[in-house]
Structure formats: structure tokens, C-alpha cells
């Protein structure tokens, strides 16, 4: 695979342009074209000779949307193909306050959570910062957005992959996506979700990127958490909470916990009491999710009634909590399911 031009910051694009003996206004044209979600060959303001120089070194198309599914509620799911043929997925959701895109940070995942489809085949490879950015540029362009008037206003790093298992590329991406010369999405409109890589949570607090730090908690004790999340064998809930408080002290941003309600695992009244004891008085919010059942997994999500009853217990206990609205339920559920389905379809047709 050649290099990915979306990996470059504006300063790096300027240096590249200079090294190709091009006048400096070409750097602006090139960067503007990239930010518009164009392939190098599609940037009509650039001379062919310069484009050919670029195409010797860089992939023309970092990412392309190969399938779009549209839900009756307006949610869209995409399968993207990367330059090396790998497939990742993403989601676009319309809310009252703006449009949120869910992006992937790795092809697959190696965290091994028992309820998650992204991790079924392990981690194939990390995405480069440019491949993460290209997802945003492609979907923004698809919806008629520009750099000045964005169609994508909010980002969640909750697609396939563990962002902190691809730390350097994710941080480079966050710097580029929030850069004033670029698409300039505010860190406050970005949520990064981690299964709780505590060392990286401390490191990230030093980066000066005040986003919404979200941790997938999903249980109240380390032993029970380890039943569905192998990472619980490495880092304890107590260590996670300390790292969250450090993030709050460094950035002033309150943190968020994801809690997917799984029948028989984490959502009886004892769990509600334990969650209240753990989190009461902390600057945090709890996002309850009804687990999306994954075909390859046996775990079952709580029904609506028990989800609301769990939410009520948390609220009465003094926690700030919400039950996440379900979007796109008719177009294939949770993280990684679309890709898993696509890969097995293709494997079947290859077998035939």
C-alpha cells in the first residue's frame, strides 16, 4: 500500500508541496480538496503534473463507501473499503442537536469482549490517522457538507477497534480533525470510548484534547466484569475510576460510563446499588444501552421495561443517567455486525 495523504497535517502538506517545487497556493488547494473528501485525481484545481507526482507516493483513494444501509429513522450504516481491500464500518445518526458519525479506529479488535461482534476475528490491523479522518471526510461530503458548513457535527470513536490500542494514530487523528485549517470539529463534540486501558487514559490526559472520555464499564465488580471483558483482568474498576478523576482534574470534562444491560449478567437491583455506591458524587454520567444481540454471541439484551426500571434505580440513587435511544435497529445492530455479515457473505460466495 502507498501512503495515505489524509495522514498529513496542513503544515506537512505545505512541506510536501514545496518539496514538489510547487508554489505555496497549491498547498491550500490540495488541502482544501482533501478536506472536501476528494480523491487526489478529483482535485480539479491542481495541475496534472503535480497530481502525478503525488500519485506516485500516495493512494488516490484512501477509503470508499461500498455499501450504505438506511434505517427508517434516518440512521445510515456504511461499509468502507480501504486501499488494501480491508473493510470497516461506520454509522451516521441524525439528532436534534446535530449529526453524529460513529467511526472505527482499527480493522477488527483484540480486546475480546464477549458481547461484541468487532472482536470476533481479532485485530487485523490498526488504521492510520488518515484512514480514520477519511471516514469523516467521506461521510461529510456524502451529506453535502463542506469545511465551513459541516454535515457531520459530532464524532464518536465507538466503531470497530479500541482507540487506545492504536494510541499514536488516534491522537494524530484527533489533532488533525480538530485543527483550525482542517474540518475543525471541536473536541467538545467528540467522544472517545475505551474499554479502560488505564495507562493510556493517564497519557491522554496530558495531550490537551478536552473531549468526552467514555469508558465501557458494563459491570460493577472486577470478577463479574471479567466474565464478559477480558481487559478487567488487567485493570481494576478502582484504577479506572482514579484515571477518570485524573482526566477530570486535568481537563475539567466530566466523564461518561457506557453500561450495556445484559440479562443475567449486570442489571439486577444489586448491580444498581453497587453502581450507585461506585459512582455517586463523581463528575460523571451513565449511558445505559440495551445490548444489541449479536448472532454469533449468546448474550441477550435487557428488554425495554427492565432497562427503564434499572434507569429509575440509578436516578433515585442520585446518579445522572440516560437510556440511549436505539437507532437503526432495523439495519443490523451493533458494532462490527455489518462487517462480520459482509465478510461471511463474501467468504460464502468465494466458496461457491
197 binds ligand SAH (CB under 6 A): no
Catalytic site residue from 195, 244, 284, 335: 335
206 is known as an active-site residue: no
CA angle, 133 then 285 then 183, to 5°: 20
Q: Does residue 29 interact with ligand SAH by CB under 6 A?
A: no
CB 313 within 8 A of CB 280: no
Within 8 A by CB and 6+ apart from 23, the residues are none
The upper half-sphere exposure of residue 207, i.e. CA atoms within 13 Å in the direction of its Cβ, equals 19
| Residue 137 to residue 5: CA distance in whole angstroms | 13
Which residue among 78, 115, 247, 310 contacts ligand SAH (CB under 6 A)? 115
State the nearest-atom distance from the C-beta of 209 to ligand SAH, in Å. Answer: 17
| Residue 261 touching ligand SAH (CB under 6 A) | no
Long-range Cβ contact pairs of 341-347 (< 8 A, separation 24 or more): 342/67, 342/79, 342/87, 343/87, 343/121
Catalytic residue among 59, 76, 89, 162: 89
| 335 is annotated as an active-site residue | yes
Residue in 101, 140, 176, 193 binding ligand SAH, rule: CB under 6 A: 193
Spatial distance between the Cα atoms of 265 and 297, rounded to a whole number of angstroms: 14
Sequence-distant (≥ 6) Cβ neighbours of residue 22 within 8 angstroms: 50
Among 334, 338, 339, 340, binds ligand SAH (CB under 6 A): 334
Decide: is 162 part of the binding site for ligand SAH (CB under 6 A). Answer: yes
Residues 270-309 that bind ligand SAH (CB under 6 A): 289, 291-292, 294
Q: Tell me the window of 42-50, 85-93, 111-119, 315-323 that interacts with ligand SAH (CB under 6 A).
A: 111-119
Phi first, then psi: give them for residue 259, nearest 5 degrees. -140, 100
Which positions touch ligand SAH (CB under 6 A)?
111, 113, 115-116, 158, 162, 193-195, 216, 258, 260, 289, 291-292, 294, 334-335
Please identify every residue annotated as catalytic: 89, 335
Amino acid at each position: 500500500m502507498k501512503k495515505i495523504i489524509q495522514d498529513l497535517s496542513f503544515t506537512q502538506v505545505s512541506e510536501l508541496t514545496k518539496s514538489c517545487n510547487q508554489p505555496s497556493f497549491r498547498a491550500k488547494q490540495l488541502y482544501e480538496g482533501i478536506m472536501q473528501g476528494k480523491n487526489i485525481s478529483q482535485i480539479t484545481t491542481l495541475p496534472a503534473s503535480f497530481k502525478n507526482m503525488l500519485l506516485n507516493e500516495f493512494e488516490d483513494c484512501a477509503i470508499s463507501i461500498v455499501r450504505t444501509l438506511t434505517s427508517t429513522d434516518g440512521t445510515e450504516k456504511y461499509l468502507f473499503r480501504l486501499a488494501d481491500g480491508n473493510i470497516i464500518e461506520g454509522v451516521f445518526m441524525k439528532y436534534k442537536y446535530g449529526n453524529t458519525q460513529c467511526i472505527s479506529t482499527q480493522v477488527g479488535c483484540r480486546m475480546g469482549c464477549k458481547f461484541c461482534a468487532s472482536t470476533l476475528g481479532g485485530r487485523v490491523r490498526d488504521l492510520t490517522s488518515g484512514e480514520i479522518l477519511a471516514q469523516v471526510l467521506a461521510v461529510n461530503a456524502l451529506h453535502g457538507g463542506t469545511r465551513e458548513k459541516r454535515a457531520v457535527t459530532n464524532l464518536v470513536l465507538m466503531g470497530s477497534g479500541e482507540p487506545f490500542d492504536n494510541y499514536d494514530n488516534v491522537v494524530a487523528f484527533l489533532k488533525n480533525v480538530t485543527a483550525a485549517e482542517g474540518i475543525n470539529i471541536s473536541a467538545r463534540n467528540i467522544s472517545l470510548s475505551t474499554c479502560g486501558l488505564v495507562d493510556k487514559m493517564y497519557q491522554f490526559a496530558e495531550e490537551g484534547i478536552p473531549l468526552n472520555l467514555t469508558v465501557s464499564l458494563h459491570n460493577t465488580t472486577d470478577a463479574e466484569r471479567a466474565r464478559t471483558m477480558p481487559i478487567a483482568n488487567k485493570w481494576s474498576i478502582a484504577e479506572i475510576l482514579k484515571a477518570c478523576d485524573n482526566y477530570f482534574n486535568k481537563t475539567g470534562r466530566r466523564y461518561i460510563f457506557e453500561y450495556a444491560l445484559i440479562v443475567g449478567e449486570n442489571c439486577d437491583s444489586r448491580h444498581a446499588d453497587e453502581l450507585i455506591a461506585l459512582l455517586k458524587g463523581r463528575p460523571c454520567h451513565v449511558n445505559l444501552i440495551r445490548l444489541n444481540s449479536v448472532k454469533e454471541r449468546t448474550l441477550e439484551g435487557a428488554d425495554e421495561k427492565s432497562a427503564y426500571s434499572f434507569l429509575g434505580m440509578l436516578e433515585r440513587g442520585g446518579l445522572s443517567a440516560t437510556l440511549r435511544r436505539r437507532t437503526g435497529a432495523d439495519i443490523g445492530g451493533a458494532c462490527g455486525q455489518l462487517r462480520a455479515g459482509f465478510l461471511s457473505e463474501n467468504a460464502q460466495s468465494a466458496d461457491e
